[in-house]
């Protein structure tokens, strides 16, 4: 599986460095903000890379998104740890403006409630609570058991990598990349850190583009095959019956015809795919040839 990988540095410094930052901003669709007391000469930096598949399919569950957050501080701040004080994700964003997601596209992705720090990084063994989306569709990751401090570059472990699990619920309403074939959305991520000694705060943001494909088969329970169990699972869901091993709740793809609602047509659609009916209205699947 291929991935798009973006590393976006966010240092603070003099005029030349600011120009370089502006260039990187244009290249990598990144904005950064550096807040510092006037007159301070400092180079506190943070960078963010986000790895996520360039293409996913509606109904996929537990797709890994990986955030790679680095303390990139340089002299005279090269020995300072960076306290991670905010990690924000808008899981599916249609438009980014002025460094924020100005038009979220809710419901495309859902995130598992807990994310975990990756082995071999400063966040190894750490867990992060993933909040439900707020009114602006922002999801906040909060470290359990106290703040994370990313050690300085000189320590050799100046990276905090965090993995979170993403489920693909529906196709985007907004195609965020019209020139590219298919329908794209973007994972919009923002991280903020404060240097442990000088107290300077840095922020960097990344947009990661992903094509969201329609499913090719009505595999409602996501077990990899289409059988009458998929129809049964939809009927169980509609009847309010308890989940079973074969019919988990939530079902990965209950709305198999992507109409926007789960109803009995979805169960009929599965049976159409299995060749039990000559035709079902509003069902995009024919039996495999």
x-or-dash string of contact with Ca ion, 213-252, rule CB under 5 A: ------x-x-x------x----------------------
d(CA 52, CA 60): 13
CB contact at 8 A, 270 and 218: yes
The tokens of 247 are what?
């019919």
Smaller CB separation from Ca ion, 57 or 221: 221
Shortest Cβ 255–Ca ion spacing (Å): 14
The tokens of 76 are what?
């005279």
Cα 129 vs. chain centroid, distance in angstroms? 14
Among 175, 209, 248, 263, binds Ca ion (CB under 5 A): 175
Residues near Ca ion (CB under 5 A), total: 8
Helix axes 264-273, 228-239, angle to 10 degrees: 180
Residue 276 contacts by C-beta under 8 Å, 6 or more apart in sequence?
Answer: none
**Interacting residues with Ca ion between 179 and 198 (CB under 5 A):** 180, 184
Shortest Cβ 228–Ca ion spacing (Å): 9
d(CA 101, CA 212): 19
Shortest Cβ 78–Ca ion spacing (Å): 42
Smaller CB separation from Ca ion, 140 or 209: 209
Count of C-beta atoms within a 10 Å radius of residue 178: 9
Smaller CB separation from Ca ion, 191 or 256: 256
Give, for 100, the enclosing helix (H) or strand (E): strand 100-104
Smaller CB separation from Ca ion, 43 or 221: 221
x-or-dash string of contact with Ca ion, 35-64, rule CB under 5 A: ------------------------------
What are φ and ψ of residue 238, in 5° steps? -65, -30
Smaller CB separation from Ca ion, 113 or 276: 276
Q: Is 171 in the site for Ca ion (CB under 5 A)?
A: no
Which positions lie near Ca ion, rule CB under 5 A? 175, 177, 180, 184, 219, 221, 223, 230
């Amino acid at each position: 599986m291929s991935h798009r990988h973006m590393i976006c540095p966010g240092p603070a410094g003099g005029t030349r460095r600011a120009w370089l930052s502006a260039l990187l901003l244009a290249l990598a669709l990144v904005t950064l903000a550096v807040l510092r007391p006037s007159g301070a000469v400092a180079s506190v930096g943070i960078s963010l890379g986000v790895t996520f598949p360039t293409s996913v399919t509606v109904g996929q569950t537990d797709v890994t998104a990986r955030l790679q957050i680095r303390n990139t501080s340089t002299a005279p701040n090269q020995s300072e740890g960076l306290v991670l004080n905010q990690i924000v994700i808008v899981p599916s964003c249609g438009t980014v403006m002025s460094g924020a997601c100005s038009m979220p596209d809710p419901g495309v992705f859902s995130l598992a409630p807990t994310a975990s720090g990756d082995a071999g990084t400063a966040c190894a063994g750490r867990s992060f609570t993933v909040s439900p989306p707020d009114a602006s569709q922002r999801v906040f990751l909060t470290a359990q058991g106290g703040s994370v401090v990313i050690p300085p570059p000189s320590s050799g472990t100046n990276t905090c990598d965090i993995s979170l699990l993403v489920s693909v619920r529906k196709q985007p309403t907004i195609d965020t990349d019209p020139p590219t074939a298919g329908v794209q959305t973007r994972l919009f991520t923002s991280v903020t850190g404060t240097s442990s000694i000088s107290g300077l705060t840095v922020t960097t943001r990344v947009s990661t583009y992903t094509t969201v494909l329609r499913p090719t088969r009505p595999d409602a329970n996501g077990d990899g095959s289409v059988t009458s169990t998929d129809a049964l699972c939809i009927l169980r869901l509609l009847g309010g019956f308890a989940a079973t091993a074969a019919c988990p709740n939530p079902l990965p793809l209950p709305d198999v015809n992507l109409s926007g609602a789960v109803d009995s047509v979805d169960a009929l659609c599965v049976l159409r795919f299995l060749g039990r009916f000559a035709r079902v209205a509003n069902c995009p699947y024919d039996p495999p040839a």
